[in-house]
Chain A
Amino acid sequence: MSKFFSGLLGLRRGPWEMLATILIALGVFMLMQPFALVAYTYSFIVTLVGTVMFIIVSHFRE
């Protein structure tokens, strides 16, 4: 876990890509879940942030 956080602080691609992947997956889940309309409302912004982050961090060094 500490390796993950030090990777984030050191702007390493692996942990940041992982974070972006989690955000995208969370956004897609929020979009399609049947439990809360408010989660559906904020799903797009979460997916968008995850996707943009993924594009940016894929240029970080390994």
Chain B
Amino acid sequence: MSETTIERAAKATPPSVARKIRGLSDRAIAWIFVGPSIFLLLAINIFPLIWTINLSFTNFRANRPNREVEYIGLRNYERILTDSDIWLTMQATAHFLFWTIALQVVIGFTLAYLINKKFKGNDLWTTIIVLPMMLSPAVVGNFWTFLYQPQIGLFNYIVSFFTGLEPSSFEMIGSVALAPWAIVIVDTWMWTPFVMLICLAGLRSIPDYIYEAAEIDRASKWRQFWTITVPMVLPFLMLAVLFRGIENFKMFDLVVQLTGGGPGSVTELTSINLKREAFEKWRTGYASAYAIILFVTVFGLASIYVKALNKVKER
């Protein structure tokens, strides 16, 4: 009879090591395996979080480490939550969040619905559509900067082809009115495939017999879509919305590469503003309080996300 893997491993273990292990309880062995992960989690996540909470109550500045640090209570939070400039930053983030999610859901669901139909070249099209998602945000930001160039950019020429406007008559990145839309377009281009994949998973999870039963009941395609397809894909769609919402709330790299928060501060999202406070103005205590506000918001949204995820799992 052949030996099992466990028996082979037991034979291969040197006697000195085997003697030591034999003396350990199951609980101790479990701690040996879990310990390094817990240590890393505490060192990389929990300790910096606690330290940031502590700093958020101080006037600490990282560029003046020798200055005496004063505890100023909730003053940093009070300043942030009454600052109309930060409020405007939050509104810029809200504009970005709302439009990216709305467009990604509509286009993503439509693409998933079309890709779900059986046709020749289905797999090839799926691969092509998914390509933008695989690119680095820095690369996407760079080449969209070229596409948005008023003189040589392809985007302006396409818009001028459909509208009759002069290609150099408008500047997507340089205009106060158009720059917020420029970042929405790029994010939608990059992340719609992600929403499409989630919707596709939802569409493929619907059993065929439900549609067959509807056919027997002579339900029209339109009715099948609204009473079978939409309700059954809805939890997946909700998941996509929450996931993209959390991700876009933290959006940094793509927008920095594209507009750098400008012109003025119309595309300055919260994470860009936070980085300026922390590493340009060096108001570390203030920036820590700002980070905690964003953290609580994202954590709250993540809690809803986990709840929605569990509901999808239950299905």
Residues of chain A touching chain B, judged by Cβ–Cβ distance below 8 Å, are 17, 20-21, 24-25, 27-28, 31-34, 37, 40-44, 47-48, 50-51, 54-55
Contact = CB atoms under 8 A, between A and B. Distances in A.
Given A37-B82, A40-B81, A43-B81, A50 B90 contact: no
A50 B296 CA distance: 10
Contacts of A34: 91, 94
Given A34-B91, A43-B81, A44-B81, A28 B303 contact: no
A33 B299 CA distance: 19
B90 A27 contact: no
B90 A54 contact: no
Interface of B: 77, 81-82, 84, 87, 90-91, 93-94, 97, 293, 296-297, 299-301, 303-304, 307
A51 B303 CA distance: 8
Q: Could you say which of A25, A27, A32 has the most chain B C-beta atoms within 10 Å of its C-beta?
A: A32
A24 B293 CA distance: 13
Contact of A25 (B81, B87, B93, B304): B304
Given A24-B303, A24-B304, A43-B81, A51 B87 contact: no
The A contact surface, by secondary structure, is helix
A47 B94 CA distance: 16
B300 A51 contact: yes
A1 B299 CA distance: 28
B303 A31 contact: no
Contacts of B300: 24, 27-28, 47, 50-51, 54
B281 to A, nearest CB: 21
A53 to B, nearest CB: 10
Given A44-B293, A51-B296, A32 B90 contact: yes
A14 B124 CA distance: 44
Contacts of A43: 81
Contacts of A42: 81
Nearest to B77: A44
A40 B90 contact: yes
B104 to A, nearest CB: 18
Contacts of B307: 17, 21
26 contacts: A17-B307, A21-B303, A21-B304, A24-B300, A24-B304, A25-B304, A27-B300, A28-B297, A31-B90, A32-B91, A32-B93, A32-B94, A34-B91, A34-B94, A37-B84, A37-B87, A40-B81, A40-B87, A41-B81, A41-B82, A43-B81, A44-B293, A47-B297, A51-B299, A51-B300, A51-B303
